[in-house]
Amino acid sequence: MAQCTELWIDRNDYRNTRIVSSAVPVPKEGEVLVAIDRFGLTSNNVSYAVSGDMIGYWGYYPADGDWGKVPVWGCANVVASNCAEVPVGERLWGFFPMASHAILQPGKVRDDQFLDVAEHRKALPAMYNGYRRTGAEPDFLQAMEIERCLLFPLFATSWLIYDYLADNDFFGAKQVLIGSVSSKTGFGLAQMLHRDPQVTQRIVGLTSAGNVAFVERLGCCDQVVVYGEESGIDATLPAAYVDMSGDSGLTTTLHNLLGENMVESAMVGATHWEQRGDTGTLPGARPTFFFAPAQIAKRDAEWGPGVAMMKAMTASAEVAKIAQAELEVEWIRDPQALASVWNDLLDNKVSPNRGLMVSLL
């Protein structure tokens, strides 16, 4: 009998994992069963765990007790259907658990997408409830499944931050500081700023010494600063800080260096999640969490529903083409190896050029 294999994470200790095997579920009326044959794993998934309670990421695929299923971006085939509008054989891309199978409840079905309308999802951020029916998409997009799993969700966030900064005239900043610029969301943002001829702000990327060469090869920063050498940043220029690291010590250092010249401080990621902490009162702009759905909602009201995400996907495809040359795709096909590399991500031991693709089927 076929088995459903899942990796669960202890919500109180992210390093504690549990491999769960069970019978493949049977879809009820209005539901479909999908077989997830590939998903990407990046530091962004660590951020999902770290902010799981605050944003609601644990709620998309509930688990028992204190256990949780960290969501990932992947591709799947519908292998059983009790929903006439989404038949067996449909190819999907969207938000799945770290698992071999999952149940979805399609609603608001269109030719190119549907929403999961399950009751437990109604209070969660709606942007993660959408699933693309990829057979209706252009051939070039269908051919980029690996990039969509590994890069598109991160680069979409990059674009939303880029749009947020531009929408606010960079808050008067003359330079943009990007913490953990070697992260995919970090260098995606740097590339989008670099590629826009209307952006005159200096792009300053902060990273560890081991990632400097990688960032320099991407050619998207005007200055690359190694952690511990932040004094090399020009503190006389007003700065907008975009924090992909989640390192409160780094945030404190930069705010104290820039003082009132820190005109914006946006918290996005958590690559250095164990260095989180209360920064207390800092000089300059108050650090605030960047909530991507809020920027999408703003643009949907101004431009019409879906326009912002289409722009984000287009930009993601363009930057993904640049990143392909630096990406070494590595496949993981058993749950023990997945648990091991999950801990490597937690310990920040995965080099930025590794593209981790997983299949538990």
Q: Are residues 167 and 138 in the same domain?
A: no
Q: Are residues 67 and 100 in the same domain?
A: yes
Q: Are residues 88 and 169 in the same domain?
A: no
- Considering 279, 294, 309, which residue would you say is the last residue of a domain? 294
Q: Are residues 167 and 128 in the same domain?
A: no
Q: Name the residue with higher pLDDT: 98 or 185.
A: 98
pLDDT (0 to 100) of residue 109: 95
Number of domains in the chain: 2
In a domain, 353, yes or no: yes
pLDDT (0 to 100) of residue 318: 87
pLDDT (0 to 100) of residue 235: 96
In a domain, 314, yes or no: no
pLDDT (0 to 100) of residue 275: 46
Q: Are residues 196 and 258 in the same domain?
A: yes
Q: What's CA 82's distance to the chain center, in Å? A: 31
In a domain, 308, yes or no: no
Percentage of residues in the chain having pLDDT higher than 90: 69
Q: Are residues 144 and 157 in the same domain?
A: no
User: Is residue 274 very low, low, confident or very high in pLDDT (cuts 50, 70, 90)?
Assistant: very low
User: Is residue 270 very low, low, confident or very high in pLDDT (cuts 50, 70, 90)?
Assistant: low
pLDDT (0 to 100) of residue 184: 86
Cβ atoms of 202 and 233 closer than 8 Å:
no
In a domain, 252, yes or no: yes
Cβ atoms of 25 and 3 closer than 8 Å:
no
Residue-wise pLDDT for 329-351, tens only, equals 999 999 999 999 999 999 888 88
In a domain, 318, yes or no: no
Find the helix packing angle between 292-303 and 307-323, rounded to 10°: 120
d(CA 44, CA 195): 23
Residue-wise pLDDT for 303-329, tens only, equals 988 789 889 988 988 888 888 777 899
Identify the CATH number of the domain in which residue 272 sits. 3.40.50.720
Listing from the earlier edge strand, what are the strands of the sheet with 3-10?
13-23, 3-10, 67-68
Q: Give the mean model confidence (pLDDT) for residues 170-191.
A: 94
- Expressed as residue numbers, the domain containing 273 is 153-294
pLDDT (0 to 100) of residue 280: 65
Token pair of 315 as six digits: 């930009």
Cβ atoms of 190 and 204 closer than 8 Å:
no
